[in-house]
Amino acid sequence: MTAPGDDGASRAPQPAGVVESAAELAFEGALRPASFAEFVGQQKVRSQLDLLLRAAALQQRAPDHILLAGPPGLGKTTLALIVAEETGHPIRLTSGPALQHAGDLASVLSSLVPGEILFIDEIHRTARTAEEMLYLAMEDFRIDIMVGKGAGATSVPLELAPFTVVGATTRAGLLPTPLRDRFGFTAHLEFYADDELEKVVARAAGLLGLDVERAAIREIAKRSRGTPRIANRLLRRVRDVALVHDTPADLAAVQHALHVYDVDELGLDRLDRAVLEALIARFEGGPVGIRTLAVTVGEEAETVEAVVEPFLVRTGLIARTQRGRIATPAAYAHLGYARPGAATGGNVPLDGV
């Protein structure tokens, strides 16, 4: 497995407080499910992928190109690695930001072996010139290399080994239609249900040899924004608490870790709450555009759109309208604000939040 340009900086935007240290990445790697059977949840996507791979194997051809869409930490990279494992072919890892010139992509494509899986993380951030080369490569397993410069330049076709692109994106909507059309299958990964996350945490605790109380597992699952990556990291923080305070990994240890890392009872972190707070206190509940919201909380618009918004929409705290994002009554209640038009009038915190 090789990872050209996989420099960590090119990964998907992460929730606030998620520090991508080498230790965290190694920890993640150790917990990655290696087969569909070990992969928890996403039942529909798993069975769709399984069918696609089996059909390709029976026809002895490279599987169709696969696009995996969804917020960070839901298992896109893990699924790409499982696809490689199931097909028995090697996988090459790269990312959109690492493909800034057609030459970057040409050198990757020309060295692929037959059947190889090419995983392109954050594929929507691929540069336009590389993207155009990718269209042809995905369609015809061929690229045109330009030789020479100016009037004397000629294009020389280069045949490629059949391969499968597995693209991952947190922003499927940003993918140009010609690129999207070249994927035979698009999977939309959903946030995980609490009972699925309980399985993720229990599995991780088992792999780490940690004895974690049942109630503690349940609480970690509930507070993890529907995201396995966050669940595993929270488990690690609980392990830290248990270690430092020489206590069992129980409910009290979870509550301690959640308090230290500023995660509230719905699993919202500091950035989630800052966005809600801005929406209600600064913009009277909206509607307001995502860019304005992002500037107000001092965050990249991409992070707010790819990381914060999907979860707040899923929890019913904000709604998307044609004119922008609005805070729902549940958001007012969660932050302790009176709704406009309610007896107090205006957006006044009920309890000084």
Ligand X SMILES: Nc1ncnc2c1ncn2[C@@H]1O[C@H](COP(=O)(O)OP(=O)(O)OP(=O)(O)O)[C@@H](O)[C@H]1O
The catalytic residue positions are: 76-77, 121, 170, 229
Query: How far is the C-alpha of 316 from the C-alpha of 29, rounded, in Å?
Result: 32
Residue showing the smallest CB distance to ligand X in the complex: 75
Applying CB under 6 A, which of residues 74, 234, 235, 274 lies at the interface with ligand X?
74
Applying CB under 6 A, which of residues 94, 126, 224, 232 lies at the interface with ligand X?
232
Residues annotated within the binding site for ATP are: 31-32, 73, 76-78, 139-141, 182, 192, 229
Q: Is the peptide bond before 287 cis (omega within 30 degrees of 0)?
A: yes
Applying CB under 6 A, which of residues 87, 170, 315, 328 lies at the interface with ligand X?
170
Residue type present at position 18: V
Query: How far is the C-alpha of 82 from the C-alpha of 76, rounded, in Å?
Result: 10
Q: Does 94 bind ligand X (CB under 6 A)?
A: no
Query: How far is the C-alpha of 267 from the C-alpha of 221, rounded, in Å?
Result: 9
Q: Does 226 bind ligand X (CB under 6 A)?
A: no
* Count of other CB atoms within 10 angstroms of residue 248: 13
Report in angstroms how near the CB of residue 43 gets to ligand X at its nearest. Answer: 10
Query: How far is the C-alpha of 154 from the C-alpha of 145, rounded, in Å?
Result: 8
Q: Does 33 bind ligand X (CB under 6 A)?
A: yes
Q: Compare residues 204 and 294 and give the one whose CB is closer to ligand X.
A: 204
Q: 35 to 54, contacts with ligand X by CB under 6 A?
A: 39-42
Whole-angstrom CA distances from 149 to 102, 143, 145, 153, 178 are 15, 18, 12, 5, 28
Q: Compare residues 201 and 253 and give the one whose CB is closer to ligand X.
A: 201
Q: Does 167 bind ligand X (CB under 6 A)?
A: no
Q: Does 311 bind ligand X (CB under 6 A)?
A: no
Residues annotated within the binding site are: 31-32, 73, 76-78, 139-141, 182, 192, 229, 320, 325
CA torsion angle for 281, 284, 289, 294 (degrees, to 10)?
Answer: 0
Applying CB under 6 A, which of residues 49, 69, 78, 237 lies at the interface with ligand X?
78
Q: Does 315 bind ligand X (CB under 6 A)?
A: no
The residue ranges that bind ligand X (CB under 6 A) are 11-12, 28, 31-33, 39-42, 72-78, 121, 168, 170, 200, 228-229, 232
